[in-house]
């Protein structure tokens, strides 16, 4: 009994199949341990995709153990499927060990792939065109007889259809007639344009009306999302991709980039209700497991997807958000941000200052002074984009400076004293005669509330040594610094034409286990630049803790 | 006299406008120094794009200085253009200082943008619909009267056309009637689908037949390339994007990802003949200047674009390359590779080794050993791409090692002695009590041919100090080093998650006035990494001089 056959264009829900654990694993640098795979299955189930294509048990025996464990998970939304080829040429389905392993995986669904392109059949597979059709039909029938939902992936479908449309269509008809529940048309090489995809889908829909058609695209031409969207508009109601987008070569369609377009713009649900706003977080979870970053420019869920820089854009959004944003970022769990830079204007600065001190509005003299200072600092190589901690300190110092300028001189003591002052430091990198390795050590002397403290540390390099020494010196006075650690460190040479005398910009990301913040430092001396960024990092932590206490009381 | 008005669909060449230095600069984390911008202009000119949109002189005074310098460059293929808005509301064009700055930039072309979306006109710009049209028309006329090629960017065109098609079309007609040479339709929010783009382009072509229409897309939905391709198919013959793809939010269309599709698949030339195969290298050059990486999954030119992992794919390709590749990678200067397979690796290495020592063929044991060493070093963070000098030294050392292994022990003295050995060094960065500035100094002790020499130097920072000391110590023995200077210095933190203890990779470019070479060093200690790169730089110079002499005699 075929599984839910309807006319595609009347079906109002799009089924999602995520192949992170199979096609995604074919991406360069991607590999999953057993525990990684279980974690990915959980995340995908939480998102609510219909199918999780979780491996190829025939080609990777470790996958059978995974399927055994995965089968015990209580999944709320998703069903698992195993992936493999048609039966081999020249043998019966029931005698093919790879097909047997698909059954052994014991999943509700099975995806099997076959050839649609006559060139592949004769030159790569090296069988006759008729034998290929038999291989497809017999595999579909075999899997259906064993009670599986059978999903047939027609590999290279569109290239095959362009080369020999009659043959390509006959291969998918064979799969369908033998019992396949889904016919998925694949642009395996990633070279097709959206209009070809739409034409191909319509041709199949005409040949086999009433079938649930699927689409599987790759990003070799940068058209993966557009091709999948075109296929859905042409009637496909099953879409395959990987959540983050990694996969063979340029990758698969990123489901995180595609699903919001289908749900919000085409208007067809893909996920259970309320799940779309989890996509920002769950994409990051899966990327974390795979040890890759979510690209900042990934549509909808990328870190920069709603980051506005041009002053005019920031101004426009504050007046009317849909004037510069194609969707409301909260629909996908993302949020908008304004980047600080010489291109941005006063509106953007005022927006950020408001979060630090709500009493300051766009016309306050502090805003003009900050705009001026920013332009000056940026000309010297400072950049506060991505350095929210240093930016906040800049703002606070400017507000304090304006306040001080208004106070009569005798009241200057009412202003808060600085947390600490670095009196002196010395950082040494050396490679003594006869030693095999270089070593670094540093001492730092600080002044806190009239008291001196000096501390020393060794390090993997000069910056690491200074970092360690500064922290040791200050933790005596501020024990909360013991919880702070650096989570990222970046160095950029500003205009390398001055070579080793060039200015460097150091960006540091810190965390105390609860929040994260970034700080910056610029100098021709990388030690000095790192010192500036480290000092800001520590001051930011100390100020934030006070602000936190002030809010509570 | 309008500049080259033709019926778009009979024009057989697509004009490319690269806006890396303007729209690209609006990407998060992107900023260009004056020298960076000149370097980008050179790279884009080498690629052969028609227009380089190089800045917004009205919003950024530093840009005028850049345009002054850029105007002196002898460009082979590209023309520069400046970018800015229409005249401000309520004043005349000739009284608008921003328009004046566009003229002061003194470029052959000027791109100005205006509003097509009635919502933007009334809610964001806050003028009447008629005044907006006057602003557009008067600006076009003003710029045309000053002899510019006038390129009009219709911002938010497609959203505006969907909201109020009559008004949107009237805005572009106004620009054209007033003398604009190009009408560029922009999907500024990046939210449109390819079919909307195609429909919009066709509507404009019908309204203003005979106009050169352009397209400018953003990647907020992942459709930037597909939208631009759809626009070209619908008749656009001017395409705007950024080579690497960075830009506001999710970025602009990546021209590196788009141009090959237009040239190879649609069949319309975009670049001068023979230039397409340079696109792989030039994209990397521009990315390097911007201090970003070319994403591995960027279509056509990404590092993984032709990396095949699945065993079946590798097998297929070796049988018939077009069975798994949508184009021949060499057309864009890329090459295929097989992951986790020695076969692909060794061919590439042998290719490079042949240039250093033509007697070494692919099966020579040196090749296998180099392949093994490279994998090892790359796992530790070394990267020889862009470090030709260090790679050549690696090869020479391996060849020498294999030779030495074959010599009887007593003949070991026949091998050339190393040029020098660093016996010891000490680099100090300090900020003494009471001093306002930090200072750095270093001493280095070398051994050359049994003789010791020690030299010291001060520097702008620790690396600069060590560089100076090393050079002083060695120039006594090798006077030719006096001609060598560093022309570029780059630092990249490898995996910042180890923060200040992370490994850094230092890349140095050196020149002796005649040739340039690049060398690399990796360590957790930036001084040590710089030392390695500096040592390679010096050794490379000394070896090259000998090779040069040997060739002459």
pLDDT at position B14, please? 97
CB contact under 8 A, B222 and A258: yes
Average pLDDT over residues B447-461: 93
Q: What are the pLDDT digits (tens) for B392-402?
A: 999 998 888 88
Chain A contact set for B254 (CB, 8 A) = 222
The predicted pLDDT at position B294 comes to: 87
**Which SS3 state, helix, strand or coil, does residue A283 take?**
helix
DSSP B384: -
Q: How far is B355 from chain A (nearest CA, A)?
A: 29
Range with top average pLDDT, A294-298, B173-177, B349-353, B413-417: B173-177
- Which pLDDT does position B324 carry in this prediction? 80
pTM: 0.77
User: How is chain A split among helix, strand and coil, in percent rounded to 5?
Assistant: 45, 20, 35
Q: Is B483 a residue whose pLDDT tops 80?
A: yes
Bridge partners of residue B84, in order along the sequence: B112
Provide the pairing of β-strand A439-448 with A421-431.
antiparallel
Q: Which of A295, A461, A491 sits opposite B524 (nearest CB)?
A: A461
Of A249, A324, A460, the CB nearest to B524: A460
Contact A288, A246 (CB under 8 A): no
- Hey, are the CB atoms on A297 and B245 less than 8 Å from each other? yes
Q: What is the pLDDT of residue A323?
A: 74
CATH architecture of B421-552: 2-Layer Sandwich (3.30)
> In this model, does residue B137 exceed pLDDT 60?
yes
Could you tell me if B180 and B151 are in contact, meaning their C-beta atoms sit under 8 angstroms apart? yes
Q: Residue B67 corresponds to which tokens in the numbers above?
A: 């345009």
Between strands B182-187 and B213-217, the pairing is parallel
Reduced to 3 states (helix: H, G, I; strand: E, B; else coil), residue A298 is coil
Q: Which residue of A has its CA nearest to B198?
A: A195
How would you write B231-274 as a 3-class SS string?
Answer: HHHCCCCEEEEECCCCCCCCCECEHHHHHHHHHHHHCCCCCCCC
**Across B268-274, average pLDDT:** 96
Enumerate the residues of chain A whose CB falls inside 8 A of the CB of residue B310: 26, 248
Instruction: Count other C-beta atoms under 10 Å from residue A197's C-beta.
Output: 26
Q: Which residue of B has its CA nearest to A246?
A: B297
If one counts every other C-beta atom within 10 angstroms of the C-beta of residue B84, the result is 23
Distance CA B439, CA A394 (A): 25
Give the nearest chain A residue to B461 (CA atoms): A525
The helix (run of H) or strand (run of E) holding residue A28 is: none
Whether the Cβ atoms of residue A494 and residue B33 lie closer than 8 Å to each other? yes
**Helix residue spans in A80-177 (DSSP H):** 97-104, 118-119, 129-145, 157-163, 165-177
Burial B488-512 (b: 16+ CB within 10 A, else e): bbbbbbbebebbbbbbbbbbbbbeb
Per-residue confidence band for B485, with pLDDT thresholds at 50, 70 and 90: confident
Residue B333's region, left for phi above 0, alpha for psi from -120 to 50, else beta, is left
β-bridge partners, B110: B82, B150
- Determine which of B297, B430, B434, B493 to mutate to test the interface with A (most A C-beta atoms within 10 Å): B297
The rounded distance, in Å, linking the Cα atoms of B275 and A316 is 40
What gap in Å lies between CA A261 and CA B221, rounded to an integer?
Answer: 7
State how beta strands B238-241 and B109-115 pair: unpaired
Report which of A441, A458, A491 is spatially closest to residue B494, judged by C-alpha positions: A491
**pLDDT tens track for B245-267:** 999 899 999 999 999 999 999 99
Cβ of A500 within 8 Å of Cβ of B461? The answer is yes
Delimiting residues of CATH 3.30.160.270 domain(s) in chain A: 421-552
- State the SS3 of A366-407: HHHHHHHHHHHHHHCCCCCCCCHHHHHHHHHHHHHHHHHHHC
Backbone CA torsion sign across B195, B199, B205, B208:
negative
pLDDT at A508 (0 to 100): 86
Which residues in A lie closer than 8 A to residue B492 (C-beta atoms)? 491
Q: How do residues B20-51 score in pLDDT, each as one tens digit?
A: 999 999 887 788 888 899 999 999 999 999 99
pLDDT cut 90: percent of chain B above it: 61
Backbone angles phi, psi at B428, to 5 degrees: -125, 130
Q: Which residues of A touch B308 (CB under 8 A)?
A: 248-249
Q: Å from B148 to nearest chain A CA? A: 25
CB A437 within 8 A of CB A409: no
Residue in chain A lying closest to B191 (CA): A326
Three-state secondary-structure class, residue A291? coil
The closest CB to that of B325, out of A189, A302, A339, belongs to A189
Structure confidence at residue B343 (pLDDT): 39
Task: Give me A403's structure tokens.
Answer: 């306040």
A498 close to A368: Cβ distance less than 8 angstroms: no
Parallel/antiparallel/unpaired status of strands B439-448 and B421-431: antiparallel
The pLDDT value given to residue A309: 72
**pLDDT at residue B339 in the model:** 56
Contacts of A31 in chain B (CB under 8 A): none
Cα-based torsion angle of the residue sequence A539, A541, A544, A550 in order, rounded to the nearest 10 degrees: -90
CA separation for the pair B307, B451 (Å, rounded) = 51
Distance, in Å, from the CA atom of A321 to the CA atom of B21, rounded to the nearest integer, reads: 26
Contact at CB, B119 and A323, closer than 8 angstroms: yes
Residues of chain A positioned with their CB less than 8 A from the CB of B304: 27-28, 249-250
The CA distances from residue A289 to A21, A28, A33, A283, B97, in Å, are 11, 15, 10, 10, 54
Beta-bridged to residue B385, according to DSSP, are none
Cβ of B467 and A500 within 8 Å?
Answer: yes
| Coil/strand/helix, residue B454 | strand
Q: Closest Cα partner for A456 from A439, A469, A473, A467?
A: A469
CATH T-level fold of B15-290: TIM Barrel (3.20.20)
Confidence of residue B551 (pLDDT cuts 50, 70, 90): low
B460 and A524 in contact by Cβ < 8 A?
yes
Query: Encoding tokens for residue A167?
Result: 């043959």
Helix axis angle, A462-475 to A526-552, nearest 10°: 30
Residue A538 and residue A483: Cα distance in Å, rounded? 11
Contact call for A250 and B297, based on CB within 8 A: yes
Whether residues A487 and B508 touch (CB distance < 8 A) is answered with no
* Average of per-residue pLDDT across B214-237: 98
In angstroms, the CA B504 to CA A342 distance is: 29
Instruction: At B435, give phi and psi (nearest 5°).
Output: -80, 150
Tell me the chain B residues in contact with residue A516 when contact means C-beta distances shorter than 8 Å: none
Burial class (CB in 10 A: 0-12, 13-18, 19+), B10: exposed
Please say if the pLDDT value at position B101 is more than 80: yes
In chain A, where does the domain assigned CATH 3.20.20.70 lie?
Answer: 15-290
CB contact under 8 A, B490 and A496: yes
pLDDT at residue B4 is higher than 80: no
Which residues on chain B are in Cβ contact (under 8 Å) with A189?
Answer: 324-326
Which residue among B249, B460, B491 places its CB closest to the CB of A307?
B249
| Residue B24: alpha-carbon gap to chain centroid | 11
> What is the structure's pLDDT at A375?
79
Length of chain A: 553
For residue B469, which residues of chain A lie inside 8 Å, CB to CB? none
Q: Is the pLDDT of residue B209 over 50?
A: yes
pLDDT per position in chain A (553 positions), as tens? 334 433 445 567 999 999 999 999 887 767 788 888 999 999 999 999 999 999 999 876 678 889 999 999 999 999 999 999 999 999 999 999 999 999 999 999 999 999 999 999 998 889 999 999 999 999 999 999 999 999 999 999 999 999 999 999 999 999 999 999 999 999 999 999 999 999 999 999 999 999 999 999 999 999 999 999 999 999 999 999 999 999 989 999 999 999 999 999 999 999 999 999 999 989 988 987 887 778 889 999 998 899 887 665 666 666 677 777 899 999 999 988 776 654 556 777 888 888 888 888 888 888 888 888 887 887 787 878 778 899 999 999 888 888 778 777 766 555 566 899 999 999 999 988 878 788 999 999 999 999 999 999 999 888 889 999 999 999 999 999 998 988 778 787 776 566 777 888 888 888 888 888 889 999 988 899 999 999 999 999 999 988 777 655 4
Question: Using a CB-CB distance cutoff of 8 angstroms, which residues of chain A are in contact with residue B462?
Answer: 427, 429, 462, 525-527
Q: Do B528 and A429 touch (CB under 8 A)?
A: yes
**Residue of B120, B287, B500 best to disrupt the A interface, most CBs of A under 10 A:** B500
Cβ contact B35–A261 (<8 Å): no
Helices (H), B296-364: 311-319, 342-356
Residue B544 has pLDDT above 70, yes or no: yes
Spell out which residues of chain A touch residue B526, defining contact as CB-CB under 8 Å. Answer: 461-463, 491, 526
Least CB-CB distance to B189: which of A250, A326, A488?
A: A326
Query: Contact A292/A35 with Cβ under 8 angstroms?
Result: no
Close Cβ partners of A415 (under 8 Å, ≥ 6 residues apart): A400, A403, A404, A407
B550 CA: distance to closest CA in chain A (Å): 31
pLDDT, residue A6, reads: 39
- H-type alpha helices, A255-387: 255-260, 279-290, 311-319, 346-356, 365-379
SS3 A86: coil
CA A130, CA B533: separation in Å to the nearest integer?
A: 62
């Amino acid at each position: 009994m075929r599984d839910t056959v309807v006319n595609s264009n009347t079906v109002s829900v799009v089924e999602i199949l995520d192949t992170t654990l199979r096609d995604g694993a074919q991406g360069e640098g991607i590999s999953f341990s057993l525990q990684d795979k279980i974690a990915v299955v959980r995340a995908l189930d939480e998102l609510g995709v219909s199918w999780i294509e979780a491996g190829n048990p025939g080609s990777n025996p470790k996958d059978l153990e995974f399927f055994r464990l995965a089968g015990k998970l209580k999944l709320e939304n998703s069903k698992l499927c195993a992936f493999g080829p048609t039966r081999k040429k020249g043998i019966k389905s029931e005698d093919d060990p790879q097909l047997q392993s698909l059954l052994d995986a014991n999943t509700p669904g099975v995806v099997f792939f076959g050839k649609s392109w006559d060139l592949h059949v004769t030159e790569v597979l090296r069988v006759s065109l008729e034998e290929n059709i038999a291989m497809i039909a017999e595999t579909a029938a075999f899997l259906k007889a064993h009670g599986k939902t059978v999903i047939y992936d027609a590999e290279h479908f569109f290239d095959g259809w362009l080369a020999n449309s009659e043959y390509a269509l006959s291969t998918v008809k064979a799969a369908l007639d033998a019992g396949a529940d889904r016919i998925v048309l694949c642009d395996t090489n990633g070279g097709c344009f959206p209009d070809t995809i739409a034409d191909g889908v319509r041709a199949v829909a005409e040949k086999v009306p009433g079938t649930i058609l699927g689409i599987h695209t790759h990003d070799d031409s940068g058209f993966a999302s557009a091709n999948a969207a075109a296929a859905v508009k042409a009637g496909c109601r099953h879409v395959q991709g990987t959540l983050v987008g990694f996969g063979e070569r340029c990758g698969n369609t990123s489901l995180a980039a595609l699903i919001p377009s289908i749900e919000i713009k085409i208007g067809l649900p893909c996920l259970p209700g309320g799940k779309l706003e989890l996509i920002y977080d769950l994409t990051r979870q899966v990327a974390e497991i795979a040890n890759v970053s979510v690209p900042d420019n990934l549509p909808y869920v990328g870190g920069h997807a709603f980051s506005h820089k041009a002053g005019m854009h920031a101004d426009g959004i504050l007046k009317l958000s849909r004037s510069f944003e194609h969707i409301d970022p909260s629909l996908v769990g993302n949020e908008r941000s304004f980047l600080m830079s010489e291109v941005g204007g006063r509106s953007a600065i005022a927006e950020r200052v408001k979060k630090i001190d709500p009493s300051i509005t766009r016309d306050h003299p502090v805003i003009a002074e900050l705009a001026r200072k920013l332009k000056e600092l940026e000309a010297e190589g400072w950049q506060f984009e991505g350095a929210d901690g240093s930016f906040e300190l800049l703002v606070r110092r400017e507000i304090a400076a304006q306040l001080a300028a208004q106070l009569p001189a005798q009241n200057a003591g009412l202003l808060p004293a600085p947390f600490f002052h670095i009196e002196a430091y010395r950082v040494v990198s050396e490679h003594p005669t006869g030693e095999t390795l270089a070593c670094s050590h540093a001492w730092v002397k600080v002044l806190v509330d009239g008291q001196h403290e000096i501390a020393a540390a060794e390090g993997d390099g000069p910056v690491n040594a200074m970092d360690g020494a500064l922290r040791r010196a200050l933790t005596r006075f501020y024990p909360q610094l013991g919880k702070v650690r650096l989570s990222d460190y970046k160095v950029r040479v500003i205009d390398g034409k001055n070579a080793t005398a060039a200015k460097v910009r150091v960006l540091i990301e810190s965390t105390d286990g609860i929040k994260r913040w970034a700080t910056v430092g610029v100098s021709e001396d990388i030690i000095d630049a790192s010192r500036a960024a480290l000092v800001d990092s520590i001051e930011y932590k100390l100020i934030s803790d006070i602000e936190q206490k002030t809010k509570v009381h």
